[in-house]
Structure 1
Amino acid sequence: MATGYSAISSYSRVQILHLLLTRPGRTISELSEATGLHANTVREHLQRLIESGYVVPETEHRATRGRPRMLYSAASGEGASSSPVAQQKVRDAAARGDLMRKVMPWTGSQLSDAAQHQLDALVEDLQDAGFDPAVDEAELTVDLTPCSHAQAQAAHRDVLCAVHVGLMQGVLAEAGGPLAVEGLLPTCDPAQCHVQLTLSA
C-alpha cells in the first residue's frame, strides 16, 4: 500500500515527532532551531500532529511573571501526555472491532478483550499511516513489510523506525491493556519491518 497523506507522510513531521519522543515538553522555537524549519511551518506541522492524536500541547506552569509558553510532547497514552483525539480513535476502533467479531465470530481470538482492542486500535492507526499491517496473534508480531516509508526516506531509517515504534507504543498505551511493543526484529532488508509485541501477565 502506498503511503497516503497521513500525519507521518512528511519527514519534517517525523523529525518533529522524533525530537518530542526523545525529549518531551519542547517549545516551537526549540523545535524550529533543531529542525531548521521556520516557526510558522513548525506550528502547522504540530497542528497536524495534534489533530492526528500524536502530539499533546500543554501550557507551561510558571512560578514567575511572564506569559506561559506552550509545550509540546509526543502522545504517550499516559497522564498529561494522553491525547483526547487518540482516546476517541481507540474507542472507535474497539467498537468497529467488536462489531466485526460479532458479525464474523470466526475472526475471534484467544487474546483478552483488552488486548484485542489494543490490536484494533494499532491496526487502524497503521493503516491510516499508509501501512498494510499483518498481525500474527500467536507469535505476537506485526508485519509491516514492505515498509513504504523505508524507500522514500532511506537515509533516515533509524529515525523513521524509532518514530514508528514510539507511535505504536503510544497507541497501545492509549488503548490500555497487556500488550506493549518490545521492539523491531532484526532484518538486513530496509523494506522489511517486523515488530515484536510482548504480553504482560
Structure 2
Amino acid sequence: MAAGYSAISSYSRVEIMHLVQQRPRRPIAELVEATGLHPNTVREHLQRLIDAGYVVAETEHRTTRGRPRVLYTAASGEDDASSPIAAQRARDAAVRGDLLRRVYPTGGRETLQPEALHQLDALVEDLGMAGFDPLVDETGLTVDLTPCPHATTTDHRGTLCRVHVGLMDGVLAQAGGPLRIDGIAPSCDPAHCVVQLSLQPAASSPTRSGRE
C-alpha cells in the first residue's frame, strides 16, 4: 500500500478497524470469527491500533464466574472510548499550532474558534504523520487530500475509505470541539479526495485539545 496510516497498512487491520467502528465493545472471539485470523494475530493487530490511538480496550464487568473478556472499541473521544494516546497527541498538536499562529500571525483572519483550530491542528498533524499533505480551507470547511495515495488500490477501496473517514472523525472527536467529518465530496477521479467538515452544536467534551 502507498503512503498512509501505518496502523492500517495491512488490510487485516483495516478489516478489524472497520468492525470496531461498526459496533463497539467487540471481543476477540467475534473479531477472529469475522476475519478468519488466528487469535494471536488479531491481538497483535489490535495492539498496533491501540498504540496508534485508534482503538481502546476495556475489561468487561462480569457478575458471574469466569474470566472477564477484553472488549475493543474505536476511539471516539467519549468517556468510555477515549484514547489517552490520541488525547495527548491532540494536546501537543494544539500547543504547536498556537505557537505557529503566534510566529506567523494571520492578522485576525481566522474564521474558526480556537477549539476548532485545535481540532484542525490535530487532524493535520495526524494526516501528515501518515504521509498525506492536507490542504485545509477553513472558510469552506474542507480538507483536500489530493492526490489520494490509495487511488491505485482497487481491492477494498470502499472499506478503506470508510475506515479512513472514521479515523479522521475520531481524531477530531478526541481533540474536542465542534468539527466533525461530513463526508467525502463525490468525484469521478479516484485520486481526487476532498473531505467535507461540518460544525456541530456546542457541547461539552471530556477531552480538550488546548491548554488549560
Q: What's the TM-score bracket when you normalise by the shorter of the two chains? A: over 0.9
Residue 9 of structure 1 corresponds to which residue in structure 2?
A: 9
Which is richer in helix? 1
1:152-200 C-alpha deviation (Å, 9 max, x unpaired):
x322111111111111111111111111111111111222111100113
How big is the shift at 1:147?
1.2
Between the aligned partners of 1:130 and 1:15, the Cα distance in structure 2 is 21
Residue 127 of structure 1 corresponds to which residue in structure 2?
A: 128
Structure 1 residues 33 and 150: alpha-carbon distance in aligned structure 2, compared to 1, 3 A threshold? farther
Between the aligned partners of 2:78 and 2:67, the Cα distance in structure 1 is 27
Residue 192 of structure 1 corresponds to which residue in structure 2?
A: 192
Alpha carbons 1:6, 1:128 under 8 Å: kept: no
Residue 62 of structure 2 corresponds to which residue in structure 1?
A: 62
Give the aligned residue type for 2:126: D
1:69-126 C-alpha deviation (Å, 9 max, x unpaired):
0000110111210100010000010011011111111386221100000000011111
What secondary structure sits across from 2:58 in the alignment? strand
Residue 144 of structure 2 corresponds to which residue in structure 1?
A: 143
What secondary structure sits across from 2:189 in the alignment? coil
Please give the TM-score of this superposition, normalised by the length of structure 1.
Answer: 0.94
How big is the shift at 1:5?
6.6
Between the aligned partners of 2:77 and 2:95, the Cα distance in structure 1 is 19
Gaps of 5+ in 2: 202-212
Alpha carbons 1:53, 1:84 under 8 Å: kept: yes
* 1:170 matches 2:189: no
What RMSD over aligned residues (CA atoms) do the two structures have, in Å?
A: 1.5
Residue 48 of structure 2 corresponds to which residue in structure 1?
A: 48
* 1:36 matches 2:36: yes
What secondary structure sits across from 2:168 in the alignment? helix
Between the aligned partners of 1:190 and 1:35, the Cα distance in structure 2 is 27
Give the aligned residue type for 1:134: L
Give the aligned residue type for 1:99: L
- Which 4+ stretches in 1 moved above 4 angstroms? none
Query: Percent of aligned positions with the same letter in both sequences?
Result: 68
Alignment of 1:81-160 (within 5 A): 81-106=81-106, 109-151=110-152, 153-160=153-160
Between the aligned partners of 2:150 and 2:38, the Cα distance in structure 1 is 24
Please give the TM-score of this superposition, normalised by the length of structure 2.
Answer: 0.89
Alpha carbons 2:119, 2:176 under 8 Å: kept: yes
Between the aligned partners of 1:137 and 1:60, the Cα distance in structure 2 is 41
Give the aligned residue type for 2:89: K
